[in-house]
Structure 1
Amino acid sequence: MQAVDDILRLACEKFADATAVSSKVETVSYSQLFNRSAEVASELRGLGVGNGDAVGIIGHRSAAVISAVLGTWMSGAAVMLIDEALPAVRRETMLGTGPVRAVADCTDAPRIRCSPRPGAVPGPALDDRDHAYVAFTSGSTGTPKAIVGSHTGLSSFLRWQSEEFGVGPGDRFAHLTNLSFDVWFRDALTPLVSGATLCVPDQLHLDAAGALDFLRGERITALHLVPSLGKVWTAAAAGAAPVPSVRHAFFAGEPLDSALVRRWREYFPGCEVVNLYGPTETTLAQHFHRVPADPRPGVQPVGRSLPGSRSFVLDEERRVCAPGEVGEIHIAAEHPSHGYLMDGRIVAPFVGIDVDGERISAYPTGDRGRRAADGELEILGRADEQVKIAGVRIELQEVRAAIQAHPSVREAFVCAQEDRFTKVVVAVLEGAAEAEPQLRAHLGERLMSAMVPSAFVYLPALPKLPNGKVDRRALTEVAAGHLRERGRRAAVPAGTGTTADRLAAIWQSVTGGGASPLADRDITFFNASGTSLTIVVLHARVQAEFGVTFPLVRLFEHASFNAQLSFLEQMFHEPEGRGPGNAVSTAGAASRKRVLTARRTRRSRGLPTPDLG
């Protein structure tokens, strides 16, 4: 076994004076990163933390979180990353999974506060030194599913990515992945095991134009992102200057289509596009595909397996399919995860398959695919009710369970439908439509923002089949029809009328139609079917329509229609230097403080926060 902290420790020694993490808050060298991590490890050991324990690390992208992660590993414990923006109920559910002995609070980074978690006792489930982290995916039972990751698997992947793509001290990686996803580990640690610099954008750089400015200004050479984010950026970047420094873009989490690849290369002409694929259960990506200069039409393949791993397309009898035949993809990773953490024990999700007389342990991904004639693997969709939205793996049954727990709902059907930039969740309900605001609040306290339905459709009764089960085909068409109708009602801002009329038209255009916010001016953008992804589009269109410039975080701070309207009207009456076109110039040194205050306010109110995937 090679622990991840061992290779990070070697990197800290080798590149001691180089910059490890760079942000608006601070610049941290490799030696400083190691010293801070050692302090965290010492503090955790003083709390009795060691092998068999987990440490919950709560915060946002920062050097403090990385120090807490490395320090936790140095103490002998496993890491449990928890994004501070998650609903409080979900955070507590995650912390209650497994032996979380202590919590490292990094919400006020660069400060780290370590404290014991009352009542936590060590257990046998995490006593293997190879247990590196506990990551969560959506669960079909209605609660997040905990997966125990492997030190050996993670360190192997980090070394592979670094060597395969020549990552080194000259590289500058953009840190875009939020906590609570296992993808965070490759996003943050691949550069750090390689002597590269991890560059952390602040909240002022979450809009499309600001993101491109960040990549250009920081001379970013590589980044990880989901295709839906790439679509939003390129859609809003019309006329932007190219960013020549970026040489690698690692896409994962969703289908990557050729149209996005071509648009991406318009803005990043020197960039190699790489398509990664692999579920959390197999330890990060297990397939990669270098997209050629002239990509094949449509969805790109995920290519070939990483060294030491194998994948198979199997039919319903678990026999290997011939090239071109469709079946379920099974992955036999060289270093997979240890399995699901359930009731104090680890349950392996792997199955035995027979290939050429050899018995192999593999993970059934639930993805349908086929092997092309050239040997590359192609993904064709899901065989179950699991979907990925903005890179987030979602069990629709978990969403349905949360909906049906609300007293206003008698019965619910949930499905995913394609919308403009990504899939969205649509709920068809038998229940009280007038209770939708309370239902949305209920879901916002329990689910990640990507899991909350974009639309609710109310029927007097859900259609049933003769056997009494709901008619899934009919209900899926109801959901799709609702989105089509909503799209037809979407207005394009005409550039005329009052400020309220113009802003309302933009809202309807971005959210895909629906009722005008003029009818309920206190409605928030997120309760009007907006998401943390489409608010980036809203930001770009508001700035273009009204000729103003302001940070995206202002729309999160002013989430309701009335608040955004007041914000715009105030901008038109600001003194010189703060009016339209100049709003960003007054941010000054207080901007970071306002952002942190806004984060805490949004968390306390259960509102979504800016999310890059």
Structure 2
Amino acid sequence: MQSDSSELQQQDNFESNRDSFQYSGKYDEIAADAFCFLDSIRHNLFDYPPDKTALFYDGKAISYVQLGKNVAQVMAALQQKKLRAGAVVAICLPKSAEHVYAVLACALMGIIWLPVDMDAPEARRDYLLSNSLTDLVISKTPVTGRQYVLIDEALTAQGFNHPKCCYQLNTEAAYYLYTSGSTGTPKCVVLNNLATANVLGQTISRWQADQDDVLMAVTPFHHDMSVFDVFGAMALGASLVIPTAAQAKDAMSWAELLTAHNISIWVSVPAIVDMLCSVASKEQLQSLRLIAQGGDYIKPGLIQFLRRQLPQARLFSLGGPTETTIWSIWHEITAEDIDVIPYGKALAHNRYYILDEQLQPCAIGEVGRMYMSGVNLSNGYLLNGQLQTGDFVSLGCDEEKIAFRMSDLGYMRDDGNIIFAGRTEGYLKIKGVRISAAEVEAALAKSGYFQDSLVVCCTHPITQMHELVAVYTLPANQPDADINALKTCLMADLPKSHIPTRWLMIEEIPLTRNVKVDRKLIQQMAQERLYQAMPPQAKVTATQEQAVTDDILAIFRECQPQTAENAVNISAQTEILNTGMRLKQLIMLSDKLTQQFDIRLDTAVLLRCKTIQDVVNEISRRMPE
């Protein structure tokens, strides 16, 4: 553990190196060429609004003219509160058009904006506001003990003045985003407009995005990928579709929105794309010209499916933690990317390193830890209003002296692409959300239910989805634990994404030779016991199994849409997604399987089955001896 003096020295070195990097002229050069997205947004809202829809939300089409008026209303309300550039405003609103008004108003006034996850426990939200030294809250209802602006009152106020914009394209703090922290509490990442401009400008150029595009805001507004959705769309003069609360987690609704609004660009974590593809018909997907996935492992099988359904669409892999601004590494997925989807190469003005424990470069193909330096670096972490360095380190091996030390592991391929190779202990990625094991484990310990407990990441063998698994031991006098009651208890401290979905009790926590918790062995134990040690299959003869297979294939053909490309050419190895079947057909399939075998497989089970053979196996396993 570092002494106070060494921590202060590290902070001084950080500030000194960052200052020398910032004012060496390199940032000035980048700023001169950067895409000033806030200039474009101001122009589209207040100067010459495009004659088109800016936002689609809850059945309403909100034009750029109306959007400009609404943003100006919010800016006027903030001005009445005497807020100046550099103040901190927390946006405590659900995902909505009003949330976009608030974000744009703050950004154009140079106010530091903080999007708050309204589904997070109240105690967690209070911590975010306190740690950020929030000056004001924009909300739907009054906030006790804090200065606030009620969004509905702001939007209905009379006599607002022409809004005064006060933003800058530099490295000053522009917005805060919270991510899971290794200390057991959320970490506040301080982001700036120059790094954001670098991402938006390069992305818009490479994707050839323009005002004719329609984007889908499927990512939560407190997640960094949503920054592109909002600011990219509004800077382009394009249209942004915002799902309602009822539509936010409903893949069928996403498919309907695709068709209704001809959405052309989709950016989300892979799990969301997977959910969309599980229910959308080929026709519903056809408006998509570009799909970008980031924040988690991309399954090659999903890419192959998208290639078949959308052969002309461009597909991208995106990466980089919140500390490196939206995304800092990418790869356009090609026909050659079959078994492995590369993490990619760094965006311009950034550099990725693969280093060993001595901070020396790894050889080609050698796995090491990822580091990144360049303009995309965030400013650091905010703790009780003070800027902290955390995992920002001095490499001393390049003119860009400061780099962010990631939890990601990878290796450099001989073509220059980086290949993701897992994460260091302490951080897990579940459905695109970075989760600190320490944060979840602290909540488990606080609950008092267990003797010892920890969390690991396991992979479901059928869906290939990552799941958060809690492994625990019980006190000697406690025979069992009420997991449902514990989940309710945890919701007071953790967001839903951080609550384990699977639980495994073991007799004792294994240790390494160095008497440390053997997380690798625990993860292996959890994977084997939860997924591989399933109830034994019934003993079915080869003849019986073939009969079951034939019957199930016949039912699939009966339920398969008549327009499906492979209506008669399917086998046990055919992937269910490739049959053209969607939720409606799966419901019918479930009913027919029940009639045929007197075994109920609901649609949730069927959605987890990748191939028809998986369905055969599931039916066979459940057949009586």
The alignment's TM-score, normalised by the length of structure 2, stands at 0.72
Q: Which amino acid aligns with 2:236?
A: S
Q: Deviations over 1:445-464 (max 9, x none)?
A: 22222211111222344344
Task: Give the conservation status (yes or no) of the 8 Å contact 1:212–1:243.
Answer: yes
| 1:215 matched to 2:258 | yes
Q: Which amino acid aligns with 1:427?
A: A
Q: Which amino acid aligns with 1:429?
A: Y
Hey, what does 1:430 align to over in structure 2?
473
Task: Give the conservation status (yes or no) of the 8 Å contact 2:411–2:418.
Answer: yes
Q: Which amino acid aligns with 2:67?
A: L
Task: Give the conservation status (yes or no) of the 8 Å contact 1:106–1:113.
Answer: no
Q: Give the secondary structure class of the aligned counterpart of 1:380.
A: strand
Task: Give the conservation status (yes or no) of the 8 Å contact 1:286–1:309.
Answer: yes
Hey, what does 1:406 align to over in structure 2?
447
Task: Give the conservation status (yes or no) of the 8 Å contact 1:7–1:155.
Answer: no
| 1:451 matched to 2:494 | no
| 1:391 matched to 2:437 | no
Distance in 1, Cα, partners of 2:116 & 2:536: 39
Hey, what does 1:233 align to over in structure 2?
276
The alignment's TM-score, normalised by the length of structure 1, stands at 0.73
Distance in 2, Cα, partners of 1:34 & 1:278: 32
Distance in 1, Cα, partners of 2:587 & 2:82: 52
Of 41, 52, 58, which residue of structure 2 is paired with 1:8? 41
**How far did 1:75 drift?**
3.4
Distance in 2, Cα, partners of 1:490 & 1:180: 45
Of 50, 72, 76, which residue of structure 2 is paired with 1:42? 76
Q: Give the secondary structure class of the aligned counterpart of 2:395.
A: strand
Q: How does 1:515-526 map to 2 (within 5 A)?
A: none
Of 265, 290, 295, which residue of structure 2 is paired with 1:248? 290
Instruction: Identify unmatched segments of 5+ residues in structure 1.
Output: 116-127, 492-536, 548-563, 565-613
Distance in 2, Cα, partners of 1:490 & 1:54: 59
Distance in 2, Cα, partners of 1:447 & 1:338: 26
Task: Give the conservation status (yes or no) of the 8 Å contact 1:278–1:286.
Answer: yes
**How far did 1:50 drift?**
2.3
Task: Give the conservation status (yes or no) of the 8 Å contact 1:424–1:453.
Answer: yes
CA shift in 2, pair 1:106/1:26, >3 Å:
farther
Pairwise CA RMSD: 3.0
CA shift in 2, pair 1:43/1:31, >3 Å:
same
Distance in 2, Cα, partners of 1:312 & 1:381: 16
Hey, what does 1:314 align to over in structure 2?
355
Hey, what does 2:225 align to over in structure 1?
183
| 1:147 matched to 2:200 | no
**How far did 1:62 drift?**
2.1
Q: Give the secondary structure class of the aligned counterpart of 2:102.
A: helix
CA shift in 2, pair 1:326/1:361, >3 Å:
same
CA shift in 2, pair 1:227/1:540, >3 Å:
farther
Q: Give the secondary structure class of the aligned counterpart of 1:373.
A: coil
Distance in 1, Cα, partners of 2:365 & 2:205: 32
Hey, what does 2:127 align to over in structure 1?
93
Hey, what does 2:316 align to over in structure 1?
274
Q: How does 1:35-434 map to 2 (within 5 A)?
A: 35-105=69-139, 112=152, 130-202=172-244, 203-204=246-247, 206-237=249-280, 240-241=282-283, 243-292=285-334, 294-348=335-389, 349-355=391-397, 358=399, 360-419=401-460, 420-431=463-474, 432=478, 433-434=480-481
Q: Deviations over 1:138-170 (max 9, x none)?
A: 012211111011011112222221122111111
Q: Which amino acid aligns with 2:113?
A: V
Of 501, 514, 529, which residue of structure 2 is paired with 1:482? 529
Task: Give the conservation status (yes or no) of the 8 Å contact 2:294–2:317.
Answer: yes
Q: How does 1:10-29 map to 2 (within 5 A)?
A: 10-12=43-45, 13-29=47-63
Q: Say which is worse superposed, 389-398 or 87-96, in terms of deviation.
A: 87-96
Q: Give the secondary structure class of the aligned counterpart of 1:363.
A: strand
CA shift in 2, pair 1:261/1:206, >3 Å:
same
Distance in 2, Cα, partners of 1:540 & 1:177: 28
CA shift in 2, pair 1:217/1:543, >3 Å:
farther
Q: Which amino acid aligns with 1:310?
A: R
CA shift in 2, pair 1:472/1:174, >3 Å:
closer
**How far did 1:366 drift?**
2.2
Instruction: Identify unmatched segments of 5+ residues in structure 2.
Output: 1-30, 143-149, 156-169, 539-581, 593-603, 605-625
Q: Give the secondary structure class of the aligned counterpart of 1:83.
A: coil
Task: Give the conservation status (yes or no) of the 8 Å contact 2:121–2:495.
Answer: yes
Distance in 2, Cα, partners of 1:54 & 1:351: 27
Q: Deviations over 1:185-226 (max 9, x none)?
A: 112221111111001233247433332222122111001111
Q: Say which is worse superposed, 479-488 or 248-257, in terms of deviation.
A: 479-488
CA shift in 2, pair 1:145/1:231, >3 Å:
same
Q: Deviations over 1:389-425 (max 9, x none)?
A: 1110111111111111002222112111112242111
Distance in 1, Cα, partners of 2:319 & 2:193: 19
Task: Give the conservation status (yes or no) of the 8 Å contact 2:328–2:376.
Answer: no
Higher gyration radius (CA): 2
Distance in 2, Cα, partners of 1:275 & 1:490: 39
Distance in 1, Cα, partners of 2:590 & 2:65: 48
Task: Give the conservation status (yes or no) of the 8 Å contact 1:102–1:114.
Answer: no
Distance in 1, Cα, partners of 2:77 & 2:187: 29
